[in-house]
Structure 1
């Protein structure tokens, strides 16, 4: 078997990483009109781990200042939620968290691609933009899958997975592979 092209490997790795970050928040937003707290905490955990790695190995020029800011966003969301919880008269904070998650997730995926994929910076601009575009397309498609989940999932599928059924769902047995 031939060696896989390093440009394809780096582009696919960046795209797969971005997709892993964005798909579940996009689906839950489509299906439930909400981004769940575990999505925010997952972004927080990954961003904080990379941020701490950068802090431990801090060297001049190791990461641009925008990277430090981007990785700090999920931590700031947690602090903001603790300081101004929705239960204390800040009901719109949830919408801000959802917006920051949806905007921050692709940014975090891009930043992690730059840090974790060694060949990413060497990729031509077209391939880097292609990885970002593919991640965004998957995010939009996953949102639509969540929105129109009743076309291929039943409420039993949500029950079996341990999730609550969204507002719009189809009745029936859960999907089983035979």
Structure 2
């Protein structure tokens, strides 16, 4: 009896570990991209926010047309949370296309930011609920470890993005099709300023 319990505990721990590793890899990749670009450019790229809107809209459409609610908990609260990113998009369109005045622009901007900030935790929860439900059954220790991993990756990504000149050059950003941060290092200029280049130019 004891051996069976030990074997079951080992299998459960292994399953939890594999779940933790898989989710940590996916979250770390997204967190790295988000935090590095935020550190380098000081903004959250529109593509990241659009991804949140697309996911929330797809889940909203599926749950509306499905027979019965697929959302956990109160479905009306879920619908309200899922529609917030669409409100952000509408506010963004209105703000960009109409000359509504400075006060109205400020109100629309605050409303759009709040809509994304309020909806994001619920959208992330639904993402795991539908794609990797095992993560929601992890004990507090593993959930804390996952949160710690993501936070550390985010801090490192932001720090390296902020000080991108330590590991990258402007040409690295240009080759990848991105704009160049204000503080990026120009490799060509650095080569021209090297002692060997100066000696060659003096000759």
State whether structure 2 residue 184 is matched by structure 1 residue 158. Answer: no
SS of residue in 2 equivalent to 1:121: helix
State whether structure 2 residue 62 is matched by structure 1 residue 47. Answer: no
State whether structure 2 residue 148 is matched by structure 1 residue 133. Answer: yes
TM-score (norm 2): 0.67
Please identify, of 67-76 and 161-170, the stretch whose mean Cα deviation from structure 2 is larger: 67-76
Offset from partner CA, 1:3-58 (integer Å, 9 cap, x none) = 89210122223323333443323222110111122221122222322333333436
Cα distance change of structure 1 residues 98 and 26 upon mapping to structure 2, 3 Å threshold: farther
SS of residue in 1 equivalent to 2:43: coil
Return the match for 1:169 from 184, 192, 196: 184
Structure 2: how far apart are the matches of 1:155 and 1:92? 37
SS of residue in 1 equivalent to 2:187: coil
CA contact (8 A) 1:22 1:102 kept: no
CA contact (8 A) 2:82 2:119 kept: no
CA contact (8 A) 1:153 1:170 kept: yes
Partner of 1:64: 73
C-alpha RMSD of matched pairs (Å): 3.2
TM-score (norm 1): 0.75
Please identify, of 63-72 and 7-16, the stretch whose mean Cα deviation from structure 2 is larger: 63-72
Please identify, of 90-99 and 127-136, the stretch whose mean Cα deviation from structure 2 is larger: 90-99
CA contact (8 A) 2:89 2:112 kept: no
Structure 1 unaligned blocks of 5 or more: 174-178
> Which has a greater percent of helix?
2
User: Greater relative contact order (Cα 8 A, min sep 6): structure 1 or 2?
Assistant: 1
Structure 2: how far apart are the matches of 1:102 and 1:72? 13
Give the C-alpha shift of residue 69 in structure 1: 4.4
Structure 2 unaligned blocks of 5 or more: 1-10, 189-203
Partner of 2:131: 116
Offset from partner CA, 1:93-130 (integer Å, 9 cap, x none) = 66776687678656533431233113123211221232
Larger Rg: 2
